[in-house]
Amino acid sequence: MSERWTVGTVLAAANEYLSGRDLPGARLEAELLLAHSLELSRFDLYTQFDRPLSEAERTVYRGLLKERSTGRPLQHLTGTQAFRRLDLRMADGVFIPRPETELLVEAVLDRLGSQGGSAEVLEIGTGSGAICVSLAVEAPGTVVWSADISKSALTLAALNARAHGVEDRLNLVHGDLFSAVPAGKVFDVIVSNPPYVPAGEIDALAREVRDHEPRAALDGGPAGLDFYLRIISESRQWLKAGGLVAFEVGVGQASEVAAELSRAGFESVDVTRDYARIERIVTAVYRSA
């Protein structure tokens, strides 16, 4: 009698397969990939645990498992990533947002909520649109500008903006840092999660980051600080008096970024720790002369 492959037995085999390849969260990833391949929710998998899978369905699933075992990110296989209130579309060649970046959004939202009324925000480094789309969704009185040097990132962010109905309050511009922002424009907030991995450390990153994330989204120069220094030096001409600058930083970088902000004349410099108690978010206020 041939073996009967059901949702339950296939999940058990997939969990064993992924676990043997040192992938963390193997069971969860097995479920997410199967739900994606069958166009079901994870809850549906458990209500259909005894459902037999056809050979065609198993073939598709095996292909996804094999790709995941090579280190290809789960988000590239499913094409989605949850971020705060959003279900974002993902694509190869665009940086996958991390959970700690939600704290950067929170810091900006706290500022926008405290000042009340409408506001304009500039994001440097759009990526998938996680930050700029979240801000537009969660702060309805806000107009957001976001700049990126990657056209593929801007294309993906535009799709995510349309999917969440905020394309009319999100201006996506193509250029390096402030180069594409209209001259003379000033903002209430400048926010950025720039590349911050020291160039010499990229090859030592986890395989799925090193091999599948765009290098331009990782490489922060010799010490990982190049983009912070550039943004800080240029940001004052783009900020209103009393405007906020907010950064996500890498491990061990918060004190250096905070010191550079102070040297540049920013005040009320503050550092927030992430879920792992790592100093991750640096904010400061610009007081014009």
All residues at 6 or more sequence positions from 225 whose CB lies less than 8 Å from its CB, including other chains: 196, 253, 256, 257, 260
The one-letter amino acid at 41: S
* H or E element that contains 14: helix 7-19
d(CA 106, CA 256): 22
Task: Calculate the alpha carbon distances from 168 to 17, 89, 141 in Å.
Answer: 45, 19, 12
**Residues catalogued as catalytic:** 95, 193-194
Task: Calculate the alpha carbon distances from 40 to 31, 37, 48, 91 in Å.
Answer: 10, 8, 10, 21
CA-nearest of 162, 131, 154, 127 to 144 is 131
Helix, coil or strand: residue 3? coil
Q: Phi then psi for 214, rounded to 5 degrees?
A: -65, 130
d(CA 9, CA 17): 12
All residues at 6 or more sequence positions from 126 whose CB lies less than 8 Å from its CB, including other chains: 132, 146, 147, 148, 150, 153, 154, 157, 172
The answer to whether residues 106 and 131 touch, using CB atoms and an 8 Å cutoff, is no
Question: How far is C-alpha 277 from the geometric centre of its chain's CA atoms?
Answer: 19
d(CA 83, CA 94): 15
